[in-house]
Amino acid sequence: MKKYDAAIIGAGPGGYVAAIRLAGLGVKTVIAEKAEVGGTCLNTGCIPTKTLIKNAEIIREVKQAAKRGLRIAEPEVDMRATMEMKDKVVSGLAGGVKSLLKANGVDLIKGEAELLSENKLSVAGEEIAFDNLIIATGSTNFMPPIPGLDGEGIMTSTEMLDLDHVPERLVIIGGGVIGCEMATVFSNFGSKATIVEMLPSLLPSMDKDVSEVLRKNLRLSGVKALTDCRVTEVSGGPGGYKLKIAGSAGGASEIEADCVLVSVGRRPNVAGLQRLNLSLEENYIKVNERMQTGIKGVYAVGDVTGKLQLAHVASAQGIVAAENIAGRHSTMSYDVVPSCVYTIPEIGAVGMTEARARDACEEIVVGKFPMAACGKALAMGFSLGFTKLIADKKSGRILGCHIIGPNATEIIGEAAAVMQSGGTLRDISRTIHAHPTVGETLMEAAHLALGEPIHVLRGL
């Protein structure tokens, strides 16, 4: 039986990052993974969807080319070649993770881990003893209890990423991040896409202004969004589906589809952990700010903790857990966590929404600079969108930032860095930003919030 200082179950962005950090701190580590290294993010989530989004962006650019004085033939989507390209990207990155683990001296064992006790597990027929354990088992797609949703051919995002054709009519149940990104991809690929969302807006957790502009942009791509509606029944099969829809006003309708995608959230993978008698909250593993569970020497990171289901949060949690195992005092904070949505254009957000800030603070100021006034955004063909900064009026401290526009997912990092250091509107307004860039909309939004607008009229 081999003995390790630390064992990790799950080699996703939480698990493998924790393993690398542990190794760097001199902790002898083993990691077990039953599927593919990289977890959902790398294999069936973040990375593969972004490769498809890039293809969608190219198609959009080609279709817009005539408006820019360019004559380009109508694009045609080869789904088999598209998926091969996606698989190549995923394979290359997965190989890179394996190389990193090996180079850092982490033992990787392929197989499903079975916990035998608080200090022992079995994987691939081998028993392993350990002093510390990190549970990084992630989550899986959730299928709501809708009649007919267990029928043949109903898809989650996992199956959608292996489609060999573009469906003519696509209905997406759920208007969250995955639903909106998939609608973006397949509407540009040529599908007639419809989103059914039971809450009043798309991306319900996002700032209301962002949701409204996203809906307009999706409509321009041919996506129909039905909000305040829910699917009550699904019938049919791969040859054609019928979905019964109920609206908030009591009305009912029916939609036909060739493909149905379910994207209503994810549930934690906690099967096989019963021997530990872990404390759970709504089926998620309860952890403190050091990522410790209620059992000494047992930690949990990533989606299984029920905090924020984001790959970069899982990685940050993994580092915190690793450092505590190595004897350092490290804590996790969720106050400044950027989130990104890869629609066209992109969305980047960090901190409080305007509604939350108004509820939580005595008085706030808001600066909202339109992309229509940004030279770089207009040159790129994007006029819908904005950059919004929300700040405490008295101190000027940034409370939140919300961007919908080109390169928003890259720009949001600047706002996060300012917020992490306790920065203010004045800090951003006095930072010289390059021109022309989309990033300078942060500076313009800060000027607006301070009552000193430059490139828009006062009061707009």
Token output for 116: 């035998």
Token output for 422: 């306790």
CA distance 165 to 159: 12
Could you tell me which residues are beta bridge partners of residue 108? 31
Compute and round to an integer the Cα radius of gyration of the chain: 24
Q: Which helix (H) or strand (E) holds 258?
A: none
In order of 52, 205, 410, 415, the CA distances from 139 in angstroms are 22, 20, 26, 29
Residue 107 φ/ψ region, left for φ over 0, alpha for ψ in the -120 to 50 degree band, beta for the rest: beta
Nearest 5°: the CA angle 269, 85, 152 is 50
Catalytic residue (choose from 312, 402, 433, 435): 435
Q: Is 22:326 a contact under the CB 8 Å cutoff?
A: yes
Backbone angles phi, psi at 109, to 5 degrees: -120, 125
CA dihedral 276, 282, 287, 293 (to 10 degrees): -10
Token output for 373: 């006034």
Q: Is 129:2 a contact under the CB 8 Å cutoff?
A: yes
Based on the residue annotation, tell me whether 435 is a catalytic residue of this protein: yes
User: Among all residues, which ones are annotated catalytic?
Assistant: 435
